[in-house]
Amino acid sequence: MKIFYLFLSFFFFSIVSFSQAPATEVRAVWITTNWGLDWPKQGTSTSAQKEELKAILDVLKRENFNTVLFQARAQGSVFYKSEIEPKSSYFNHADNFDPLAFAIDECHKRGLECHAWIITYPMEKAQMKYTGRGKRRKGVPIANKPDYYKFVNGTWYLDPGRPETKKLIVSIVSEIVSNYDVDGVHFDYIRYPSNTGKFPDEDTFKKYGNGENLADWRRGNINQLVTEVYDTVKSIKKWVQVSSSPLGRYRVLPVSPNDGWTGYEIVFQDAGHWMQAGKHDLMFPMMYYRGRNFYPFLNDWVTNSNGRTIVPGLGVYQMDELNWPLQDITDQMKYIRENKVKGAAYFRVGNLLSNLKGVMDSVRTYYPTPAKLPPLTWLDSIAPNPPLDLQVYRDDHGLLNLKWNTPDKKEDFTYTIYLSPVVNIDKNDANGILVTGLRTNSYSFAAAQGEYGFYYSVTASDRYHNESAVCFPAYFSHSANEQ
């Protein structure tokens, strides 16, 4: 049973102090599983790893996050049951443990969405054999891979131009979406390596180039994969969201033509096209830059969004690796909120949980209340009917209980509970959200007692985040004498 401590004083304090927090906003984090970077601790039992992940999710729930990007595929190894690729060595394989299934279940229990994060083209580090001595000593990769693997600077990459690569990635996505109740699939490294001038795909280009120039052909290879992936996902479960984390600099901008390598020009990642073509639902650009390298590029993403949801990724880790001051991150959070961008994501969760330079304290001030997720209106825009027959009562244990009937037993809903001192409940007022993302039609919590009362109401949201009208409200007096 979920316990929520409601204090009247906090309720009114939040109305006065945090009115700028929107009721609808993506609040996401990346949980890195490869190398056990965020999770799990290696060498521990399955039960210990489960408890470790639950503790992470408990904090995210408490701090009013609503989206988890869970790394389900690293460099050619996976954190789920696959018939295609081997299990990663970074989690305990005992007790038939399936990390992705467990993560999804535990996220949903807490009202969090869980998106399967997939590393796309990079595979594992190459095994090397060495010849010669001294300065002549040379490393040569052991050639034990299919010919659609390419060796670049010590790492194997899938060749984006090969049909075998597209077939493999689409099959992985199909396996995940078919077998797991994921809310989304999320792609990382869906681009050529940064030193693309040396990417060894001359043979592929000669065979499949069809007279195009190299740059357009490479961009087209990734565009084709994105299209195939998107169409495959929607053919299996239309509501599953497709997203990516492209380079934060989409393309060269006139205001900053010399600000480093970009997605479009350098790694052939035409992510703006994916949104314009309707083949993405969300975009999490990696905005791991400071000052003028952040703001114009974020504005460019919004310009190219085609109504899709832009969620800039903030480089919290840079406060550790490059010694950024906290203000770099908080200034970006402020800019996002002031410009009505639809949310933010943080890389990575370990930096948040450690409260690096006080970052979690700052996040807490920006997220004082829960937030709903933006509706995916380009997929479906019809809101469900509101819940029915809301009941509010205090039980023998002193807990306040809310129960209601579902508007349609065939549908898969989440619910948001509102409370208000007045009968007209405003769904756009974040301060009135008691809890959101519920996947059951009941809720219990320990509520403070006093000579006051609230109107309670509930809405239903479908898998596309379309929210119903509020149900008929129920008034409850919090007097100690009320039962």
- What confidence tens digit (pLDDT) does each residue in 131-151 have? 776 666 677 777 788 999 999
What's the CA gap between 171 and 440, in Å, rounded? 33
Taking the C-alpha atoms of residue 275 and residue 271, their distance in angstroms, rounded to an integer, is 7
In this predicted structure, what is the pLDDT of residue 11?
A: 47
Q: Do the Cβ atoms of 92 and 49 come closer than 8 Å? A: yes
List the beta bridge partners of residue 442.
Answer: 403
* Contact yes or no for 244/271 (Cβ under 8 A): yes
pLDDT on residue 260:
75
Question: Which pLDDT score is estimated for 13?
Answer: 39
H or E segment and range at residue 420 = strand 414-420
- Residue 65 to residue 54: CA distance in whole angstroms: 14
* Residues β-bridged to residue 155: 125, 152
Is 119 in contact with 189 (CB distance < 8 Å)?
yes
Closest CA to 352 of 367, 340, 342: 367
Whole-prediction pTM: 0.94
C-alpha to C-alpha distance for 318 and 348, rounded to whole angstroms: 10
Low-confidence residues in the chain, pLDDT < 70: 1-19, 133-137, 196, 257-259, 481-483
Measured between alpha carbons, how far is residue 481 from residues 67, 260, 398 in Å? 40, 67, 11
Give the pLDDT confidence of 188-247 residue by residue, as tens digits. 999 999 876 789 999 999 999 999 999 999 999 999 999 999 999 999 999 999 999 999
Tokens of 231: 């169409």
Res 148: pLDDT: 94
Phi, psi of 135 (to 5 degrees): -70, -20
Domains of the chain, first to last: 1-21+376-483 (2.60.40.10), 22-125+163-366 (3.20.20.80)
Dist. CA 176–CA 188, nearest whole Å: 16
For residue 40, is the peptide bond before it cis, meaning its omega torsion is within 30 degrees of 0? yes
Taking the C-alpha atoms of residue 391 and residue 393, their distance in angstroms, rounded to an integer, is 7
Identity of residue 176: I
* Tokens 């949201």 found at: 461
- Asked if 415 contacts 387 with a C-beta cutoff of 8 angstroms, the reply is yes
User: How far is 22 from 372, CA to CA, in rounded Å?
Assistant: 9
Task: Output the pLDDT for position 363.
Answer: 96
Residue 483's pLDDT is what? 54
Coil, helix or strand at residue 50: helix
Contact 312, 345 (CB under 8 A): yes
DSSP sequence for 127-176: PEEEESSGGG-EEEE---S-TTEEEETTEEEE-TTSHHHHHHHHHHHHHH
